[in-house]
């Protein structure tokens, strides 16, 4: 019940205004049970120590008192018998002194917490002693000392036995109290042992619950930043916890709304520019097509060649515009993946077959080593990755050379390695090759130079799949080597 109450604190606006206050309060909650046990144990130990001290004091008082009573009775009996025999008045003073000492000792014993039985025994012993002392005093006043019969003081033997029994009973009482105290100490020891056994897991449980309570707003902020980085601006940022972290969540949500507005503005701009660029270009291409078909009249050789150049340039311009718009749509849209389970090796094979005309036109060979690699991914985007890399290799590979394509599964990652036998990548180009609009050295044999977006699109799509794309280490005879590493299952990341 207490754990549920603690867990529910995160959903309420409770006192801590900062993460530091929450940490301090959590520390106090974790330490409180330990502190209570320590204080309780200290109190019980102090009580046992006090009781032990009282028992020792009472044991000493009872033992000394019982022995003094027996000594006083022996002294009184001896002095009384001697007085009755020799009649020495000094013996009466000894008797009287022992009588007073006996009464004083009895008063001290009666002040102790003896219990009703022992108190009654001490009181009876004191009453018997007073009767004997009074009888002896009467005897000394009415009869001469010499020749008095010893039978008049026979009661001292009985009182001595009672005093001895009092000493025995006192020792037993002390022993019983010691046993009770020992039993209480054993009970306290068991309580402390069981308390420690229960308190340790309870403390860990409290620490676990409170740590989750503390880390929950941090995880919420982390997830919000993760979503913003992935371009998922439709999910409201909500942080529950200390006020300072809630304020940070509000600022993140404000950032989300601003990014959402900027993304909407960018999409509107793309729609507008797509219409503004494509409409006149389409009209121009249609006009060029009419000229090429000689609908408006016959063309001479030079005019026909010029029309073909215009048509090729128009189609190239249209392709560049499409690539530019495609790359622009990629920005901030990592989360828009249509995930499905697929065989990456089969996808690579399909891409190779689709580019067979280009491969045959340059007399290239494709050396494929494709290992079955099942994974979750967006088939269209992964196909675009493979197409761009293969097209790049075909463009830069020398005629009649071989392009090596490998798919493997090292350490549970799907790895695509694609290498040509061309001149490789220049050192000054390596660091910028995947940057948008960066174009390295032109391809050989007069091929059209690229737009600088093909590898940038590869990088964007691979990163959208939580993978890595980069240059590999060429082996003997190889030129440029591109390596793509993809996780086999990114559904867990997609659901964060």
Q: Is the pLDDT of residue 6 over 50?
A: no
* DSSP string for residues in 53-111: HHHHHHHHHHHHHHHHHHHHHHHHHHHHHHHHHH--HHHHHHHHHHHHHHHHHHHHHHT
- HSE, CB side, 13 Å, CA atoms: give it for residue 161: 4
pLDDT at 3: 44
Pick the most confident of 83-87, 97-101, 150-154, 314-318.
97-101
Question: Phi-psi category of 363—alpha, beta or left, where left has phi over 0 and alpha has psi -120 to 50?
Answer: left
Task: State the Cα–Cα distance between residues 319 and 324, nearest whole angstrom.
Answer: 9
Q: What tokens were used for 219? A: 């995880």
> Residues near 166 by Cβ (< 8 Å), separated by ≥ 6?
66, 69, 118, 121, 122, 125
> Residues near 172 by Cβ (< 8 Å), separated by ≥ 6?
none
Q: Is the pLDDT of residue 203 over 70?
A: yes
**223 φ/ψ angles, rounded to the nearest 5 degrees:** -65, -40
Residue with the bigger pLDDT between 381 and 283: it is: 381
| Helix (H), strand (E) at residue 371 | none
Identify the band that residue 304 occupies on the pLDDT scale cut at 50, 70 and 90.
confident
Task: State the Cα–Cα distance between residues 65 and 112, nearest whole angstrom.
Answer: 11
Mean pLDDT of 6-10: 46
Residue with the bigger pLDDT between 222 and 41: it is: 222
Q: Is the pLDDT of residue 74 over 70?
A: yes
Mean pLDDT of 71-94: 79
Q: What tokens were used for 50? A: 């006090």
Mean pLDDT of 475-489: 88
Mean pLDDT of 334-358: 84
Question: Phi-psi category of 447—alpha, beta or left, where left has phi over 0 and alpha has psi -120 to 50?
Answer: beta
pLDDT at 386: 92
Q: What is the pLDDT of residues 363-414, one digit of tens each?
A: 889 999 998 989 999 998 899 899 989 988 888 888 888 899 999 988 889 9
- HSE, CB side, 13 Å, CA atoms: give it for residue 208: 8
Q: What average pLDDT does the structure give for the chain?
A: 77
* DSSP string for residues in 323-364: HHHHHHHHTT-TT---EEEEEHHHHHHHHHHHTHHHHHHTT-
- Of 3.30.160, 1.10.260, 1.10.287, 1.10.8, which CATH number belongs to 243-330? 1.10.287
Q: What is the pLDDT of residues 214-243, one digit of tens each?
A: 778 888 888 888 877 777 777 888 887 777
Q: Is the pLDDT of residue 51 over 60?
A: yes
Q: Closest by alpha carbon to 168, among 75, 100, 69, 74?
A: 69
Question: Phi-psi category of 405—alpha, beta or left, where left has phi over 0 and alpha has psi -120 to 50?
Answer: beta
Identify the band that residue 9 occupies on the pLDDT scale cut at 50, 70 and 90.
very low
Q: Closest by alpha carbon to 374, among 404, 335, 414?
A: 414
Residue with the bigger pLDDT between 159 and 332: it is: 159
- HSE, CB side, 13 Å, CA atoms: give it for residue 210: 19
pLDDT at 187: 81
Q: Closest by alpha carbon to 416, among 377, 447, 360, 363?
A: 377
If one counts every other C-beta atom within 10 angstroms of the C-beta of residue 325, the result is 16
**Percentage of the chain modeled with pLDDT above 70:** 82
Q: Is the pLDDT of residue 143 over 70?
A: no
pLDDT at 404: 92
pLDDT at 142: 66
Task: State the Cα–Cα distance between residues 69 and 300, nearest whole angstrom.
Answer: 153
Strand arrangement, sheet containing 468-471: 365-370, 402-408, 414-419, 481-486, 468-471
- HSE, CB side, 13 Å, CA atoms: give it for residue 64: 12
Identify the band that residue 345 occupies on the pLDDT scale cut at 50, 70 and 90.
very high
192 neighbors 11 (Cβ within 8 angstroms): no
pLDDT at 450: 55
Q: Is the pLDDT of residue 192 over 60?
A: yes
In Å, what is the CA distance from 212 to each residue of 137, 200, 345, 439? Answer: 90, 18, 42, 50
Mean pLDDT of 435-439: 69
Instruction: Tell me the helices (H) and strands (E) count for the chain, helix number first.
Output: 13, 7
Task: State the Cα–Cα distance between residues 462 and 459, nearest whole angstrom.
Answer: 5
> Residues near 98 by Cβ (< 8 Å), separated by ≥ 6?
72, 75, 76, 79
Mean pLDDT of 347-363: 87
pTM (2 decimals)? Answer: 0.48
**Percentage of the chain modeled with pLDDT above 90:** 8
Domain boundaries, the chain: 2-214, 243-330, 339-494
In Å, what is the CA distance from 149 to each residue of 34, 83, 85, 140, 453? Answer: 76, 11, 9, 12, 140
Residue with the bigger pLDDT between 86 and 145: it is: 86
- Of 3.40.640.10, 3.40.50.620, 3.30.565.10, 3.30.360.10, which CATH number belongs to 339-494? 3.30.565.10
Mean pLDDT of 158-167: 78
Identify the band that residue 164 occupies on the pLDDT scale cut at 50, 70 and 90.
confident
Task: State the Cα–Cα distance between residues 73 and 443, nearest whole angstrom.
Answer: 131
Mean pLDDT of 151-171: 74
Task: State the Cα–Cα distance between residues 292 and 290, nearest whole angstrom.
Answer: 5
Mean pLDDT of 38-63: 74
Q: Determine the Cα angle at 301 with ends 298 and 304, to 5°.
A: 65
Rg of the chain in Å (alpha carbons): 53
Residue with the bigger pLDDT between 340 and 277: it is: 340
Task: State the Cα–Cα distance between residues 395 and 387, nearest whole angstrom.
Answer: 12
Q: Is the pLDDT of residue 159 over 90?
A: no
């Amino acid at each position: 019940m207490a754990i549920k109450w603690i867990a529910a604190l995160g959903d309420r606006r409770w006192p801590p205004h900062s993460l530091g206050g929450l940490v301090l309060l959590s520390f106090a909650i974790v330490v409180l049970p330990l502190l209570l046990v320590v204080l309780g144990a200290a109190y019980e130990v102090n009580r046992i120590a006090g009781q032990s001290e009282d028992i020792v004091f009472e044991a000493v008082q009872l033992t000394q008192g019982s022995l003094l009573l027996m000594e006083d009775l022996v002294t009184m009996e001896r002095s009384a018998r001697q007085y009755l025999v020799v009649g020495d008045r000094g013996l009466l003073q000894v008797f009287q002194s022992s009588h007073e000492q006996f009464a004083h000792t009895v008063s001290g014993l009666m002040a102790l917490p003896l219990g009703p039985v022992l108190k009654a025994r001490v009181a009876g012993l004191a009453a018997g002693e007073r009767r004997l002392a009074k009888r002896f005093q009467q005897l000394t006043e009415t009869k001469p000392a010499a020749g008095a019969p010893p039978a008049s003081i026979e009661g001292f033997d009985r009182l001595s036995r009672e005093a001895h029994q009092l000493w025995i009973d006192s020792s037993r009482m002390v022993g019983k109290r010691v046993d009770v105290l020992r039993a209480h100490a054993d009970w306290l020891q068991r309580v402390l042992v069981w308390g420690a056994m229960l308190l340790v897991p309870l403390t860990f449980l409290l620490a676990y619950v409170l740590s989750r309570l503390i880390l929950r707003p941090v995880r919420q902020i982390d997830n919000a930043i993760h979503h913003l980085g992935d371009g998922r601006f439709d999910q409201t940022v909500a942080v529950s916890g200390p006020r300072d972290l809630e304020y940070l969540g509000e600022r993140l949500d404000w950032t989300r709304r601003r990014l959402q507005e900027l993304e909407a503005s960018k999409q509107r701009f793309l729609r507008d520019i797509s219409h503004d660029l494509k409409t006149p270009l389409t009209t121009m291409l249609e006009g060029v097509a009419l000229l090429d078909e000689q609908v408006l009249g016959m063309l001479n050789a030079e005019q026909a060649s010029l029309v073909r150049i215009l048509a090729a340039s128009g189609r190239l311009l249209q392709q560049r515009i499409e690539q530019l718009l495609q790359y622009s749509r990629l920005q901030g849209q990592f989360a828009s993946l249509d995930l499905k389970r697929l065989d990456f090796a089969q996808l690579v094979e399909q891409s190779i077959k689709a580019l067979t005309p280009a491969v045959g036109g340059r007399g290239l060979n494709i050396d494929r080593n494709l290992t079955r690699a099942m994974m979750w991914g967006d088939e269209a985007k992964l196909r675009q990755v493979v197409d761009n890399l293969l097209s790049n290799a075909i463009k830069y590979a020398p005629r009649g050379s071989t392009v090596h394509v490998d798919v493997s599964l090292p350490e549970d990652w799907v790895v695509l390695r694609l290498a040509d036998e061309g001149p490789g990548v220049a050192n000054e180009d390596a660091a910028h090759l995947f940057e948008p609009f960066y174009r390295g050295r032109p391809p050989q044999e007069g091929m059209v130079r690229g737009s600088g977006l093909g590898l940038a699109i590869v990088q964007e799509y691979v990163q959208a799949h939580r993978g890595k794309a980069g240059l590999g280490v060429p082996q003997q005879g190889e030129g440029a080597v591109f390596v793509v590493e993809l996780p086999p299952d990114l559904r867990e990341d997609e659901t964060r």
